[in-house]
Amino acid sequence: MKTKQEIIHLDFEKPLIALSKQISELEEKALKNGNSKIIIDLKNQYEKVKEQIYKNLSPIERIKIARHPQRPYPLDYIQSISPAWYELHGDRTGKDDAAIVGGLIEIDGQTIMAIGTQKGRNIKENQRRNFGMPSPEGYRKALRLFYHAEKFNFPIVTFIDTPGAYPGLEAEEHNQSHAIAMNLRELAGLTVPIIAIVTGEGGSGGALALGVANRVLMLENSIYSVISAEGCAAILWRTKDKASEAASALKITAQDLYKLGVIDEIIPEVEGGAHYNHNQTCENILNAIKSHLRELKELSPEELKTDRQEKFRRLGIFNRV
């Protein structure tokens, strides 16, 4: 989003909005009266409230930030971190799914295959991109691009921001399960460095199909879950109103996943979320990609493959008696 837009505020940010309104009103008056102490107090209070809100974001609040309509989407990151961007289209068997984008970028003279799920900014674009919910053809396009990267020895960077794989009639008929399963299996066998970054919503299998990587990173306010909080609440609590409880129970935030050892790094966002400052978030992402690529370049092709397979082989917590 190049043009400046008014930020859409989330409901839990309301106290802040009220305070800042009060401050600006008082500031206007203070210009006339010269009484600035009350303004300083208010500003201090504003900072305190701000810290309280943003430092203690609950899982359901993180979901809201992750789904924020002004949050940068994978194409925003891709286009900002690389001067070159050649999008490649189609699964070669009949469709080009716009919910998944992929193509060639360049970072520090290194050609990289960038692949991401892509939501739309407006109704029309969302119709085309299906709200970022890929069809089997999208995953097959991604698979074709994985093979392309493997052939030419390009590292792969994936950007994940999807509510999940599309649960539609045609998607089932075209074998959504198989498309996802194949990606999971084939990603495990590649010999190039793979970095996956969850930038917004990491919606279950639909996200994981781009997420079998040597390094899995998450933006500070992104989420990654086996099922949506609403879906889980509907099944286990028998009402969607309990989404907040479900969100907490499922452990879906970057911070929780880091503790569980499922992800390797949390990429910081600016206070309040990436939508407050696209450029800063893009820069943080670029730095993270660079540093992980540098480390992964030390590994041989065979080591890269083993590293990835062993990383996922270890995941799971159970008792052995």
Partner 1 sequence: MGLKDFFKTRQLKKAAKLQSQLSTNGNGHDLKVEPSICDDQLCVLWTKCQGCNELLYTSELKKNHSVCKHCGHHHRLTAQERIDLLTDYGSFLEIDDNILPSDPLNFKDLKPYKDRLKEAEKTSNSKEAIITGIGSINNQPVAIGAMEFQYIGGSMGSVVGEKIVSLAERAIEKRIPLILVSSSGGARMHEGILSLMQMAKTAGILKKLHEEKLLYVSLLTEPTFGGVTASFAMLGDILIAEPRARIGFAGRRVIEETIRQKIPKDFQTAEYLLENGQIDLVIPRQNLKPLVSDLIRLHSQNTKLKTGISPFSKIPLFAGV
Site for partner 1, rule CB under 8 A: 165-169, 171-173, 175-178, 180-182, 184-186, 188-189, 204-205, 208, 211-212, 224-227, 232, 235-238, 245-246, 249-252, 257, 260, 262, 308-309, 312-313, 315-321
C-alpha to C-alpha distance for 37 and 43, rounded to whole angstroms = 10
Residues 183, 303: contact at Cβ < 8 Å?
no
| Closest of 277, 232, 315 to residue 63, by C-alpha | 232
Q: Which is nearer to partner 1, 28 or 310 (CB)?
A: 310
Taking the complex as a whole, how short is the minimal distance between the CB of residue 43 and partner 1, in angstroms? 40
| Closest of 212, 198, 204 to residue 161, by C-alpha | 198
C-alpha to C-alpha distance for 119 and 200, rounded to whole angstroms = 10
Q: Which is nearer to partner 1, 81 or 257 (CB)?
A: 257
Taking the complex as a whole, how short is the minimal distance between the CB of residue 253 and partner 1, in angstroms? 10
Taking the complex as a whole, how short is the minimal distance between the CB of residue 250 and partner 1, in angstroms? 5
Give CA 54 to chain center in angstroms.
19
| Closest of 127, 228, 141 to residue 179, by C-alpha | 141
C-alpha to C-alpha distance for 263 and 251, rounded to whole angstroms = 13
Q: Which is nearer to partner 1, 117 or 204 (CB)?
A: 204
Q: Which is nearer to partner 1, 78 or 197 (CB)?
A: 197
Q: Which is nearer to partner 1, 107 or 213 (CB)?
A: 213
Taking the complex as a whole, how short is the minimal distance between the CB of residue 101 and partner 1, in angstroms? 22
Taking the complex as a whole, how short is the minimal distance between the CB of residue 26 and partner 1, in angstroms? 46
| Closest of 79, 76, 69, 80 to residue 6, by C-alpha | 69
Amino acid at site 115: I
Q: Which is nearer to partner 1, 53 or 233 (CB)?
A: 233
Task: Please list, in sequence order, all residues whose beta carbon lies within 8 angstroms of the beta carbon of residue 19, skipping any fewer than 6 positions away.
Answer: 42, 45, 46, 49
Taking the complex as a whole, how short is the minimal distance between the CB of residue 5 and partner 1, in angstroms? 30
